[in-house]
Structure 1
Amino acid sequence: MDKPAPPPYEHERLYGPPANGQPPYGPPIHGQPPYGPPVHGQPGYGPPTHAPQPGPSTTVVVTSFGPQTCRMTCPHCHALIDTTTERELSPIGLLSVLLLFGSLCCCIPCCIDSCNNVKHNCPNCRAYLGQYKP
């Protein structure tokens, strides 16, 4: 039993079958490498390259900081520490102070924890470790 031939490809349907088994595209453009897989030693292709070997890996521990000091290993000096904290007025707290400026209540946002950001630093090397924003 003979199977029917498969339907022609779109290119063959529009332009006919390729002549002499040649591909349906033209010769390479001047300065372009020829079609087909690259051959070592062929102009325009260098020797095969090898993938770079991975270097030593670095482990990063992500710590979520809170409003209080926390115990951790400093990623800079590698000491086991309790972070030092420093409170700083947040932009919302500063806006509250400016809105209340002139009244006796303008100092209240400085005392409210939700109006202050807390920066965590290493007490040994003084490196900045992160920040808590309420």
Structure 2
Amino acid sequence: MSDTTPIIPAASAPPSYTETESHRLTTTIKEEVKPLTAVAPRDAPPPYEYPPQCPPSSGSGYQRFDDRGRRCEMVAVIELGSESVYLQCPSCGNFVYSNLEYRTGALTCLASTLCFLFCMVCTCLPCFIRDCLDVDHYCPRCNFHFGTFRRL
């Protein structure tokens, strides 16, 4: 390379406004605008329909769906204790106070074992103390079992 050759070629002057406008008007092509259409494949499965969701509740509860999964209802979770509870029976739909039935549980067995170790005569005593027994809650009309309160 010699020292006289330019490294950058000389730039020509940009085209004038009239030259640019005439060139743009002659090169414009009118195109037809076709709307896009969605083409579904022939073997596409039918669209999936989601089951309706229950609105969120402010309290504790769980969702229960019928056999088709379409209808749901909110079922409140009630804390069962050693006392009778006023609630609506999910089986018969009546508002009732629950019937209580007492039965032996883990606390009763533990207390009986401790009584056996210290005094054999008092072994059966925890079976007659209601504060040691588990409590079953039932509907008084249809005998539906609401749940069991376990002491231990």
Tell me if TM exceeds 0.5. Answer: yes
Change (3 A) 1:75 1:89: same
Amino acid at match of 2:90: P
Matches within 5 A, 1:49-128: 49-54=47-52, 55-98=70-113, 100-101=115-116, 103-128=120-145
Deviation for aligned residue 1:106: 1.1
Question: What TM-score comes out, normalization by structure 1 length?
Answer: 0.59
Structure 1: any 5+ residue segments left out of the alignment?
A: 1-38
Change (3 A) 1:94 1:53: closer
Select between 97-106 and 58-67 the one with higher mean Cα deviation. 97-106
SS in 1 for 2:75: coil
Could you list the structure 1 runs, at least 4 aligned residues long, displaced by more than 6 angstroms after superposition. none
Aligned-pair RMSD on alpha carbons? Answer: 2.2
SS in 2 for 1:130: strand
Is the 1:40–1:46 Cα contact (8 Å) retained in structure 2? yes
In the alignment of these two chains, the number of paired residues is 93
Deviation by residue 1:47-81 (Cα, 9 ceiling, x = unmatched): 34232443222220211111111111111111011
Amino acid at match of 1:132: F
Distance 1:53 1:110 in 2: 49
Question: What TM-score comes out, normalization by structure 2 length?
Answer: 0.53
Amino acid at match of 1:91: A
Structure 2: any 5+ residue segments left out of the alignment?
A: 1-39, 53-69
Deviation for aligned residue 1:85: 0.2
SS in 2 for 1:59: strand
* Matched residue, 1:40: 41
Distance 1:118 1:92 in 2: 12
Identity over aligned pairs, percent: 27
